Amino acid sequence: MPLNNRLDSVGDYSFDRLRALLHGIEPPSGLMPIALSLGEPQHSPPAFLAETVKREADGWSKYPSVRGTDSARTAISDWLTRRYNLPAGLVDPGSMVVPVSGTREALFMIALAAVPEEKNGQKPVVLMPNPFYQVYLGAAVTAGAEPVLVPADRENGFLPKYAALPHEVLDRTVLAYYCSPANPQGAIATMDTMKNLIALARAHDFLLVSDECYSELYYGAAPTGAAEACVALGDEPGNAMQNVVAMNSLSKRSSAPGLRSGFVAGDSELIRRFARLRDYGGAPPPLPLLAAASALWSDEEHVIANRALYAAKYKAAEEILDGKYGYYTPEGGFYLWLDVGDGEAAARALWSDAGVRVIPGEYLAREADGRHPGAGYIRLALVHELEITRDALMRITKVL
């Protein structure tokens, strides 16, 4: 039976590889297993989330629109305007915003909407950092593009340098994924970096997809967003965010990964095509969940409290891990990126001897041009409560 063989070149998903690596290994019977492998926030979301879903229960009997509701798009546009101090009306909720069922789906589908069969008579290119969120690679390959993985390791501040690529690569580029704060390293791009990225996208006519899902988890200055950088470049209402879309979600910001709610905002022509694609294959958020999402985007108190919880865990991590495994406190996000020499061996030992589940860094990256920026690392997600996190980190240091 003929099948889409593009998927063969992507290979197994990172967590499938982790399950295979740990298959048959049992954690110690006397210890509570602790999973730090998955970036699934365990903090409690605010109570009004469930209250809003219950209050809006009439919406379960209606099909939601692919474009969402006016109130949801307005709530998202208003949040972007407040968060990044944008001019009023810069992000038009009617033409520049689409609510989505989590940004994982949107990051994948955006490539299907944006990647043409060829560019300048050649196979199109999609750029991504290396290490990378695995959806970037799957989206690029499935859309028929050539993925180009750009190192984001300690040597370059854990952020990819797209402008250093050869012009022949940039001229074939149709889409570039960029994540700040970075997953897994937690590095944050400066305003100048974001402005230069947008200028690069416009000069070579490709779409910059700014993955901002960790934007509200920061421990110093708030990260710059793509919309904010567009304003700094002179964008005005009516002609804003050309060649740029920003994505964000409520999974990390509001500790609501099960809500599966996020948004895509930006270039109005791309948004129009993206909405058309979703008419055929999208799964719009149900109306009660969209109402809950609107309430979450409209509230900042729970976000401030959530950020403080992560800051306390990073303080504990610094006390326990400082001076070990190349430890540094990230600027943003909720991961630790530890250099342990052999990520797979460490993952097996930590599961068998400590009951702590982590993911090898090499499962989150690929070798490219003789470099493998994930080799030797493990990623830890500090998603549990403080005392569970402290217990896990103490076990890790004892075993390693």
Question: 115-122, long-range: CB within 8 Å, 24+ apart, which pairs?
Answer: 115/140, 115/143, 115/144, 115/145, 115/174, 115/175, 116/174, 117/144, 119/171, 119/172, 119/173, 119/174, 120/171, 120/172, 122/172
Place 7 in a pLDDT band, splitting at 50, 70 and 90. confident
Any idea which of 1-10, 52-61, 146-155 has the lowest mean pLDDT?
A: 1-10
Q: Is residue 6 predicted with pLDDT exceeding 90?
A: no
Greater model confidence, 30 or 201: 201
Of 30, 36, 3, 7, residue with least CA distance to 347:
36
Judge if 274 and 307 occupy the same domain.
no
Angstrom CA distances, 364 to 6, 40, 66, 98, 323, stand at 19, 16, 32, 28, 24
Judge if 229 and 356 occupy the same domain.
no
Q: What pLDDT does 165 receive?
A: 98
Q: Is residue 246 predicted with pLDDT exceeding 90?
A: yes
Question: Inter-axis angle of helices 103-114 and 134-142, to 10 degrees?
Answer: 30
* Residue 84 maps to a domain: yes
* Residue 152 maps to a domain: yes
* Residue 105 maps to a domain: yes
What lies within 8 Å, CB to CB, of 166 at 6+ separation is none
| Contact assessment for residue 285 and residue 257, using Cβ atoms and an 8 Å cutoff | no
Judge if 311 and 277 occupy the same domain.
no
* Residue 1 maps to a domain: no
Where does a domain end: 299, 324, 340? 299
Whose structure tokens read 């809500």? Answer: 259
* pLDDT mean over 365-382: 94
* pLDDT mean over 76-86: 98
Q: Give the C-alpha separation, 323 to 302, whole Å.
A: 33
Of 220, 146, 127, residue with least CA distance to 181:
220
Q: What pLDDT does 8 receive?
A: 83
| Contact assessment for residue 285 and residue 305, using Cβ atoms and an 8 Å cutoff | no
Where does a domain end: 299, 333, 365? 299
Q: Give the C-alpha separation, 239 to 268, whole Å.
A: 9
Where does a domain end: 299, 323, 338? 299
Average of per-residue pLDDT values in the chain: 96
Question: 87-93, long-range: CB within 8 Å, 24+ apart, which pairs?
Answer: 87/231, 87/236, 87/237, 88/237, 89/237, 90/227, 90/231, 90/235, 90/236, 90/237, 90/240, 91/227, 91/240, 91/241, 91/265, 92/237, 92/240, 92/268
Judge if 58 and 154 occupy the same domain.
yes
Q: Give the C-alpha separation, 179 to 189, whole Å.
A: 9
Judge if 209 and 91 occupy the same domain.
yes
Whose structure tokens read 């970037």? Answer: 136
Q: Is residue 371 predicted with pLDDT exceeding 90?
A: no
Which tens digits make up the pLDDT trace of 248-303? 999 999 999 999 999 999 999 999 999 999 999 989 999 999 999 999 999 999 99
Judge if 54 and 12 occupy the same domain.
no
* Residue 326 maps to a domain: yes
* Residue 376 maps to a domain: yes
Domain that holds residue 314: 6-44+302-399
Which tens digits make up the pLDDT trace of 335-357? 999 999 999 999 999 999 999 99
For residue 372, what is the domain's CATH number? 3.90.1150.10
The total domain count for the chain is: 2
Judge if 77 and 131 occupy the same domain.
yes
Q: Give the C-alpha separation, 100 to 293, whole Å.
A: 11
Q: Is residue 172 predicted with pLDDT exceeding 90?
A: yes
Q: What pLDDT does 4 receive?
A: 82
Place 239 in a pLDDT band, splitting at 50, 70 and 90. confident
* pLDDT mean over 109-136: 96
Place 1 in a pLDDT band, splitting at 50, 70 and 90. confident
For residue 222, what is the domain's CATH number? 3.40.640.10
Q: Give the C-alpha separation, 177 to 148, whole Å.
A: 11
Judge if 14 and 154 occupy the same domain.
no
| Amino acid sitting at position 147 | P
Judge if 69 and 123 occupy the same domain.
yes
Q: Give the C-alpha separation, 339 to 341, whole Å.
A: 6
Judge if 19 and 85 occupy the same domain.
no
Q: What pLDDT does 197 receive?
A: 98
Q: Is 207 helix (H, G, I), strand (E, B) or coil?
A: strand
* pLDDT mean over 60-86: 97
| Contact assessment for residue 168 and residue 318, using Cβ atoms and an 8 Å cutoff | no
Q: What pLDDT does 151 receive?
A: 96
Q: Give the C-alpha separation, 131 to 128, whole Å.
A: 8
Place 238 in a pLDDT band, splitting at 50, 70 and 90. confident
Q: Is 35 helix (H, G, I), strand (E, B) or coil?
A: strand
| Contact assessment for residue 81 and residue 240, using Cβ atoms and an 8 Å cutoff | no
Judge if 224 and 136 occupy the same domain.
yes
* Residue 295 maps to a domain: yes
Greater model confidence, 1 or 195: 195
Q: Pairing mode, if any, of strands 359-360 and 377-381?
A: antiparallel
Q: What pLDDT does 10 receive?
A: 83
Q: Is residue 12 predicted with pLDDT exceeding 90?
A: no
Judge if 235 and 272 occupy the same domain.
yes
* Residue 28 maps to a domain: yes
Q: Give the C-alpha separation, 388 to 373, whole Å.
A: 29
Q: What pLDDT does 240 receive?
A: 93
